[in-house]
C-alpha cells in the first residue's frame, strides 16, 4: 500500500484525523511519514511548548500515573473499569501545567484540539519526554 519513504509529506489540511499523502493509497498517515515527521514535531513544536520546570514535572507525573494505571489493570484484569481514569491522568496534569505555568495564547490550553499536528502526537510526546528525562537527554527545542 505504501510506496516507501522517498517523498516529503504533504502539508496538513482538513480534518485532524487524516493526512494527505498523494502517493499512498490511504488517507491515514503512513508509517514512514509518522517516523520522519514525529521527530520533527517533537524536537521543534512539542519541546518548545514544554520548557517550564513545573509544567514538565506535571506532564511527567501524569504520564507516570497513567503508566502505573495501565500496569495495574494489566496485572488485575478484573479492574478494567479503572481505565476510565486513563484520560484523566494523561490530560489533567498537562492542562494544569499549561494553564498556570506555561501558557501560550497562540496555541491555547487544550492541545488535543489543534489541527497543525496529529492530536495523538501530543500523548506520544509526553511519553518520549519522560523517556528523554530518564535518559538525561537534553529537552531543549530545536529550530527548523
Contacts of 69 (CB under 8 A, 6+ apart): 82, 83, 85, 86, 89
- pLDDT 10s digits, 63-90: 999 999 999 999 999 999 999 999 888 8
The interaxial angle of helices 120-134 and 53-75, nearest 10 deg, is: 100
- pLDDT 10s digits, 31-54: 545 556 888 889 988 898 899 999
pLDDT above 90 (res 3): no
Three-state secondary-structure class, residue 19: coil
Q: What is the model's pTM?
A: 0.70
C-alpha gyration radius of the chain: 17
pLDDT above 70 (res 14): no
- Please report the pLDDT score of residue 90 as a whole number: 86
For the chain, percent helix, then strand, then coil, each to nearest 5? Answer: 60, 0, 40
**Average pLDDT, rounded, for the chain:** 77
Main-chain phi, psi angles of 115, to 5 degrees: -120, 0
The interaxial angle of helices 120-134 and 86-100, nearest 10 deg, is: 80
- Please report the pLDDT score of residue 65 as a whole number: 95
Closest CA to 140 of 16, 67, 43, 18: 43
Amino acid at each position: 500500500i505504501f510506496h516507501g519513504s522517498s517523498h516529503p509529506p504533504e502539508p496538513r489540511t482538513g480534518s485532524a484525523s487524516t493526512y494527505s499523502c498523494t502517493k499512498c493509497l490511504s488517507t491515514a498517515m503512513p508509517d514512514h511519514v509518522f517516523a520522519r515527521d514525529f521527530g520533527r514535531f517533537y524536537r521543534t513544536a512539542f519541546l518548545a511548548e514544554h520548557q517550564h520546570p513545573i509544567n514538565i514535572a506535571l506532564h511527567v507525573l501524569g504520564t507516570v500515573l497513567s503508566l502505573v494505571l495501565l500496569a495495574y489493570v494489566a496485572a488485575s484484569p478484573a479492574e478494567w473499569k479503572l481505565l476510565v481514569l486513563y484520560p484523566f491522568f494523561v490530560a489533567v496534569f498537562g492542562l494544569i501545567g499549561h494553564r498556570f505555568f506555561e501558557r501560550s495564547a497562540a496555541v491555547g490550553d487544550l492541545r488535543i484540539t489543534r489541527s497543525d499536528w496529529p492530536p495523538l502526537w501530543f500523548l506520544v510526546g509526553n511519553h518520549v519526554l519522560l523517556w528523554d528525562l530518564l535518559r538525561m537527554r537534553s529537552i531543549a527545542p530545536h529550530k527548523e
